[in-house]
Amino acid sequence: MRLLHTMLRVGNLEKSIAFYTEVLGMTLLRQKEYPKGEFTLAFLGYSNEAENTVLELTYNWGVTEYDLGNGYGHIAIEVPDVYATADAIKKVGGKIIREAGPMNAGNTIIAFAEDPDGYQIEFIGEGHIRT
């Protein structure tokens, strides 16, 4: 077994694809419209779906926003340099909601960004997982 993807509902598919590709550097792997169901799916990631977990964006036609609720947490992405990543995101117009620095009650360097729909993305420095 393996984790295939995480799905997020988005209010503007083009804007969301632009954020994940242009701001976070993902690649649009595939996209398909489902006219009978009135929705479009887009799959993005840092590598192919056959070997890696990816992000599925679901656009339900005509729905422009969602209530994120309080149960959702965030997507986490490992990066070589959290400070540089946060700076790069800001330079291209991305929204950093927690500046890079040590996590609360720990040493791990993290930062948080927010996508166009309000979903949070955490950036964690490489080597944070200790076995």
End-to-end C-alpha distance for the chain, whole angstroms: 21
Q: Which residue has the higher pLDDT, 112 or 104?
A: 112
Q: Which of 3, 4, 6, 13 is nearest to 116 (CA)?
A: 13
Q: What is the pLDDT of residue 111?
A: 97
Q: What is the pLDDT of residue 37?
A: 94
Judge whether residue 131 has pLDDT over 50: no
pTM of the model: 0.84
For 13-32, what is the mean pLDDT?
Answer: 97
Judge whether residue 127 has pLDDT over 70: yes
Q: 57-96: per-residue pLDDT in tens?
A: 999 999 999 988 877 889 999 999 999 999 999 999 999 9
Q: What is the pLDDT of residue 114?
A: 97
- C-alpha torsion 28→29→35→36, nearest 10: -140
Q: Name the band, by pLDDT with cuts 50, 70 and 90, for residue 129.
A: low
Say which residue the tokens 């990066």 belong to. Answer: 79
Instruction: Give all domains of the chain, ordered by start, each with its CATH number.
Output: 5-60 (3.10.180.10), 75-125 (3.10.180.10)
Judge whether residue 100 has pLDDT over 90: yes
Catalytic residues, by residue number, are 122
Q: What would the two tokens of residue 18 be? A: 């632009």
Q: What is the pLDDT of residue 55?
A: 96
Contact predicate 85/76, CB 8 Å? no
